[in-house]
Amino acid sequence: MDSKPANPADGAAGPVTRGPATVSPRAHRADTIGAAEVSNALTKFAVVLLSSINAVLWEVYTEAPVMAAIWAAIAVWFIVWMVRDARNR
């Protein structure tokens, strides 16, 4: 008695068929939001928040409007970048 199948590709369930892959009704992996995208969004949000706080602190405590304007411009630039990035998805 030989318990091995004649063809090694044949398993207990029968021969392995190779053909076109079936299309799954689930969403494609590229259509879902991954951990990297969430991490990027949170990092951008943190930069906007901290830049805004820094701009306020420069204006209030050191009375340096130039530095406050620079930090405010960084915060606005990140907001614009986030909006453009979200629009291009």
DSSP, collapsed to helix, strand or coil, labels residue 50 as: helix
The full DSSP string for 15-42 is PPP--PPPPPSSPPGGGS--HHHHHHHH
State the CB neighbour count (10 A cutoff) for residue 57.
14
Burial class (CB in 10 A: 0-12, 13-18, 19+), 55: buried
pLDDT of residue 50: 94
| pLDDT per residue as tens, the chain (89 positions) | 556 656 655 555 555 566 565 555 566 655 667 888 888 889 999 999 999 999 999 999 998 999 999 999 999 999 999 999 889 87
